[in-house]
A and B are shown apart, each in its own frame.
Chain A
Amino acid sequence: MNILINITFGLLILAMFIAFVRLVRGPSLPARVVALDMMAALAVGIIAVYSVATGQPIFLDVAIVLALIGFLGTVAFAYFIEKGELPWRKA
């Protein structure tokens, strides 16, 4: 029972690391933003699994707030990528 929770944590943390690789390497800004969006969702999942592991459902409130912040961040990035002047845009 406990080992399944540990495997779940391991998978999520490994996924967070792999997404971080894309965040560092990503050749363009939208690729990095996609990786960041993925990492926000992964953090929500990790918090939910942590609340199960510790038996403290109060952490779910943090997950709600983090989901909201992640969505707002992604939308803001998308807005400024579309409007702003960026180095790779054809002049």
Chain B
Amino acid sequence: MAQSVSLILLLLGALFMFLASIGLVRMPDVLMRMHSTTKSNTLGVGLIMLGVALRFDDFAIAVRSLAIVIFLFSTAPVAAHMIGRAAYLSGVPLWDGTLSDEMRGRYDLETHTLSSRGKDIASAQEAGSD
């Protein structure tokens, strides 16, 4: 019983990672690609590790696979945040159909401060670019 459940968990995790890789190719823009990969990758590896823990039925191995899951759950958001921030700040173009970009003109690249009064920085940047 536990063996079949673990096999189904492994298959489900692999399916999630496969869907994540399809999103990685099909999505039009870096931030959308990250939206597809980071979440389903975490879920996929989590399911696979759960399957491994069930399969071997040993406390030490269960703890080891749980360590991988905890490590991944705590580091994947950090890595995704850093990559998204670096992509946005380095000026990678967003998708043409993007409806709102709240940070445009509100983040000063020189002083690294975020301002809610966006107009000052935006006008300063436009003046600087002209």
Contact = CB atoms under 8 A, between A and B. Distances in A.
Interface of A: 1, 4-5, 7-9, 11-12, 14-16, 18-19, 21-22, 28-31, 33-35, 37-38, 41-42, 44-45, 48-49, 51-52, 57, 60-61, 63-64, 67-68, 71, 74-75, 77-79, 81-82, 86, 88-90
B1 to A, nearest CB: 13
A82 B85 contact: yes
A48 B64 CA distance: 11
Contacts of B7: 1, 4-5, 8
Interface in B6-57: 6-8, 10-11, 13-15, 17-18, 20-22, 24-25, 30, 33-34, 37-38, 41-42, 44-45, 48-49, 51-52, 55-56
A14 B14 CA distance: 10
B92 A28 contact: yes
- The prevalent SS among residues of B at the interface is helix
A90 B91 contact: yes
B86 interface: yes
Contacts of A14: 18, 21
B33 A19 contact: no
A30 B86 contact: yes
B82 interface: yes
Main secondary structure of the interface of A (DSSP, over half): helix
Interface residues of B, number: 54
A5 B10 contact: yes
A52 to B, nearest CB: 5
B91 to A, nearest CB: 5
